[in-house]
Structure 1
Amino acid sequence: MVDVEGGKQPMTYTHQNHAYTIVYNGELYNTEDIKKRIIKKGAPLSWAF
């Protein structure tokens, strides 16, 4: 789990003229698994967790 100080919400990411926005309030424990799955699908990661 990573605690980003000053994390701003909502979080918006734009890719190929599509905007994706989330508001998140909780804990995420499987970040490495999620990161690997996103990379495997070919999505660019411009953010790090």
Structure 2
Amino acid sequence: MATQTDPVCGMQVDEESSAGASEYKRTTYYFCSQSCKQKFDANPEQYAGQAR
């Protein structure tokens, strides 16, 4: 079970049970909620790279 950091809110998210995922510049980002995913999708450049 791999965990990632939600790039919007900083919460730890399990890849398998995440609320969603988005691809940006060949990197997959996972989210704790649809709200965080929507914020990321609206402006990925603002959040990309912050989680890794």
Normalising by structure 1, report the TM-score: 0.28
Q: Pick 1 or 2: higher relative contact order, CA cutoff 8 A, min separation 6.
A: 2
Normalising by structure 2, report the TM-score: 0.27
Quick check: which one's helix share is greater? Answer: 2
Quick check: which one's strand share is greater? Answer: 2
Task: Choose 1 or 2 for highest CA Rg.
Answer: 1
